[in-house]
Amino acid sequence: MRGERALTQSELARRVGASRQTVNAIENGHFAPSTELALRLASVLGCRVEDIFQLADREVSLAVESPDALVPGDRVITGRVGQRLIAHRLAGTRAAPDAFVAATGHATEEGVRPFISEQDMGGTVLLAGCDPSLSILAEFVARKAPGHRVVPLHSPSEAALRELANGFVHAAGAHLPGNDQNIAQARRALSAGGGRVVNYASWEQGIVVQGGNPKIIRSVQDLARGDVTIVNRDAGSGSRRLLDEALAAAGIPTAGVAGYTHEVETHMAVARAVQAGIADAGIALRAVASIFDLDFIPLEEVRFDLVIPAEHLVHSTIRVMLDVLQDRHLRADLAALPGYEVSRTGATLIELKAA
pLDDT of 306-318, one tens digit each?
999 999 999 999 9
CA distance 259 to 227: 11
Phi, psi of 266 (to 5 degrees): -140, 165
pLDDT for 223 equals 97
- Percent pLDDT > 70 in the chain is 97
Phi, psi of 95 (to 5 degrees): -115, -135
Cβ neighbour number for residue 37 with a 10 Å cutoff:
17
The pLDDT of 221-250, averaged and rounded, is 95
Residue 56: predicted pLDDT: 57
Residue-by-residue DSSP string for 313-324: TT-HHHHHHHHH
- pLDDT score of 75 more than 90: yes
| The predicted structure's pLDDT at residue 100 | 83
Q: Measure CA 210 to chain center.
A: 28
Contact 150, 194 (CB under 8 A): no
CA 84, CA 88: separation in Å to the nearest integer? 13
Point out which residues pair with 91 in neighbouring strands.
none
Mean pLDDT throughout 45-69? Answer: 81
pTM of the model: 0.79
Q: Per DSSP, what are the bridge partners of residue 351? A: 196
d(CA 30, CA 14): 20
| % of the chain with per-residue pLDDT over 90 | 79
Name the band, by pLDDT with cuts 50, 70 and 90, for residue 291.
very high
> Is 180 in a helix, a strand, or coil?
helix
**Cβ atoms of residues 126 and 108 within 8 Å:** no
Distance, in Å, from the CA atom of 78 to the CA atom of 105, rounded to the nearest integer, reads: 7
Contact 267, 288 (CB under 8 A): yes
**pLDDT at residue 28, rounded to an integer:** 82
Torsion of CA 49, 51, 55, 56, to 10 degrees: -140
Q: What is the pLDDT of residue 155?
A: 92
What is the spatial distance between Cα 217 and Cα 68, in angstroms, rounded to a whole number?
40
- Contact in structure between 355 and 191 (CB atoms under 8 Å): yes
User: What integer pLDDT is reported at residue 225 of this predicted model?
Assistant: 96
Distance (Å, whole) CA 327 – CA 264: 33
DSSP per position, 34-66: PHHHHHHHHHHHTS-HHHH----GGGSPBP-B-
In the structure, what pLDDT confidence band is assigned to residue 117 with cuts at 50, 70 and 90? confident
**Residue 250 · residue 271 · CB < 8 Å:** no
Handedness of CA 234, 269, 295, 260 (dihedral sign): negative
Amino acid making up residue 30: H
Q: What Rg value do the Cα atoms of the chain yield, rounded? A: 26
Which backbone phi and psi does 291 adopt, to 5 degrees? -70, -15
Q: What rounded mean pLDDT belongs to the chain?
A: 92
